[in-house]
Amino acid sequence: MGARANFALIDAGGVRLHYSHWGADMVCSALAAGPNPAARFIAAQHRCDDPRRDWMDDVWAEGGAVVDRTTRRLVFYGDQLMLELPCKRAFLALLEQMWPGWTVRWAYDGVGDLAAAAGVDRSAVRAPDEEERLLPGETVTDLDEEVHLLTVRTPEGCVAYPLGWYVHTAWQGPALLDRLPAGGRSRLDLREIPSGGLHVDTGARTAGVWINGSRTGLVPALGGLWPGWRVEFWEDRYEEQLARCGGTVTAPGADLAAALDEVVATLGARRGDDPARRMLDFAGEVAGDRRVELNPLFTAHRPVDASPGEWEAVLCAAAGLRARLAAAP
């Protein structure tokens, strides 16, 4: 139980790696107010002994961030608030206001991107998720949930394959075309934004790949997976895939103004929250009079909120961004 995260601070003194047992669901709260509040939060977490060896791997790491003061670069991922693509985009837009002069990037390779940003080879954290590399035999019929969207354009037209959200067909490479799932559709109207997608154009020999959250190892491997093809990585821009389908596939748009409202409300509600204390209280209630033995890392989390003035700056930036989003066509 937990929401495990690695955080790293990099400055002239080198790399300092930290661990929080509950921090993956507090990533947005830690970063929202800018570099200095983020550094205070990270420095308060459990200090790891070896910044090259003590990283979690793909299986255990659920989020985290690298704050590199030498290059003014922030790389991060995690937080359940970021599961919804509009919220993720709205939060990234807010970070642009709160981290001026910094390069802010989402970690599409998860902890692999964090380790690489700290100078550690991705192989040190790699633990492949075999389930996401599977190719289902047929499409899904329930479109009320997120799906992975595979589309294939041939001279005859575009065919769409809605598949389980947990897979990503870019792992298959060109061999995918010889064993496409059953149930392809010439017209598809999705009710939710997909979790990720692949668009293959057989005539142009191009493969367009996008991801909402993070996929372990996929992005660094794309070039080798599709030899002889031009591979484009569209980050989370699902609209790129829809555009290449020429109107035969539709999905909801991203309402960033409403998403920003949700982001700000959630961050405000979290202020003062201590997930470690909440879970300790819960464990005590369940145990009653019995003695509870807990791994010391269970409580490896220290809540450090932005100051009232820093939080006010977040609200001010969000209000300005909200006005611009509402006015956008």
pLDDT per residue over 182-195, tens digit each? Answer: 999 999 999 999 99
What letter does residue 182 receive in the DSSP assignment? B
Q: Which helix (H) or strand (E) holds 175?
A: none
Q: What pLDDT was estimated at residue 281?
A: 65
Give the span between the Cα atoms of 167 and 148, in whole angstroms: 7
Phi, psi of 35 (to 5 degrees): -60, -45
Q: Give how far Cα 272 sits from Cα of 128, 302, 305, Å.
A: 36, 11, 7
Q: In the chain, at which residue ranges do the beta strands (DSSP E only) sit?
A: 5-11, 14-20, 46-47, 63-68, 73-77, 103-106, 147-154, 157-164, 188-189, 196-201, 206-211, 230-233, 249-250
* 3-state SS assignment for residue 126: coil
Residues 6+ away with beta carbon under 8 Å from 104: 73, 74, 92, 95, 96
Distance CA 169, CA 147 (A): 12
CA 328 vs CA 263, 279, 284, 295: distances in Å: 19, 43, 51, 50
State the Cα–Cα distance between residues 138 and 127, nearest whole angstrom: 27
Q: According to the model, what pLDDT value does residue 327 have? A: 85
Please answer whether residues 62 and 24 qualify as being in contact, where contact means their C-beta atoms are separated by less than 8 angstroms: yes
pLDDT at 174: 97
pLDDT at 284: 63
76: which 2 tokens? 């991060």
> Rounded CA gap, 152 and 167, in Å?
16
Helix (H) or strand (E) holding 294: none
Q: How far is CA 222 from CA 109, 167, 200, 236, 292, in A?
A: 12, 15, 13, 16, 47
Residue 207, phi-psi category: left (phi > 0), alpha (psi -120 to 50), beta (remainder): beta
The conformation of residue 83, written as its DSSP 8-state character, comes to G
Check: CB of residue 27 under 8 Å from CB of residue 76. yes
* Alpha-carbon separation of residue 281 from 285, 292, 303 (angstroms): 6, 11, 16
Residue appearing with tokens 């970021």: 82
Q: Mean pLDDT for each 10-residue chunk of the chain (329 residues)?
A: 93 96 96 98 96 95 98 98 97 98 98 98 93 95 93 96 97 97 97 97 97 96 96 98 96 96 98 82 62 66 94 98 89
Residue 263 pLDDT: 98
Token pair belonging to 273: 């929250």
Question: ∠ CA(73), CA(123), CA(165), 5° rounding?
Answer: 80
